[in-house]
Amino acid sequence: MAVLTIRDALNQALREELIRDENVFIMGEEVAEYDGAYKVTRGLWKEFGDKRVVDSPITELGFAGLGVGAAMAGLRPVIEFMTWNFSILAADQIINHAAKMLYMSGGEFNVPIVFRGPNGSAYQVSSQHSQALEAMYANFPGLKVVMPSTAADAKGLLKSAIRDDNPVIFMEQETMYGMKGEVPEDEDFTIPLGVADVKREGTDCTIIARSFTVPQALQAAEKIREEFDVSVEVIDPRTIKPLDIDTIIASVKKTNRVVIAEESHSFASVGAEISHQIMENAFDYLDAPVKRVSTAEAPNPYARNLELAALPSVEKIIAAVKEVCYL
């Protein structure tokens, strides 16, 4: 096992896939000579050249569309958005073309494309650069949505996404790029899409978390064990769509209590969908209502104290677990 940051794990995955398949190429703003806004593509332009690592103009709709066309022609583009907030400018190409082409062509055209970049909040980048957009993209049939929380997951899931024959929305988190973890050194290491991971086993309560909130949930679980001797299970879906609901339901049936922690706003969120599926499939196993911890229903603030107040936190997750466990 190697110890890598999430940034370096993503970089390693990209490099290995560029070597493995000559149809893979990367395109986005500043991905080449500048090594990427967050240095995820560091060194790749020097190694693979202009045709494999392509700097684009500041025109998200244009280079997303170019990627969709290239995928239809048999290539495997990896399109980087400097932030998923900018993907809104390319939504027509992602939603109306990439997501629908296989269906509308009667199976004639696959669109094996990955759209990737940081999603959600960062440090004081304010309202227009802090949105968590996974629920929006998960709502459209034809798109797969992936949100890794560890270095190993980042590498294994990105390699699987690049090899997938469908369009994949791959959402990273800017504040997590520097987090370190063990990563298998095997170049064939992949993690299948649509499989959740039990990050911590427990018997008294289940926390379902993703991306930014997974390390928070793990910290909360340990503090609750120390203070209240309550055993908390932490589940990371990893892939939002398709969602591994079977793993979630199995945990709910074991612990009988659920907290869902997510960075997005609560209304019409992925957490709301998970809660709905728990109601349909495991209602009789619940000993308390499902509790959700989400970002405040307001544009994300710039001021750091207000930003922290708006976002999920370890303390908020602990309070939710105490509520469902009647502590």
Contact 148, 157 (CB under 8 A): yes
CA distance 140 to 123: 29
Contact 310, 262 (CB under 8 A): no
- DSSP per-residue letters across 67-127: HHHHHHTT-EEEEEPSSGGGGGGGHIIIIIIITTHHHHTTTS-----EEEEE-S--SS--G
CA distance 258 to 248: 10
Phi, psi of 209 (to 5 degrees): -135, 160
End-to-end, the C-alpha distance of the chain in Å comes to 40
Task: Give the residue numbers marked as catalytic.
Answer: 60, 129
Residue 42 burial (10 A CB sphere; 0-12, 13-18, 19+): middle
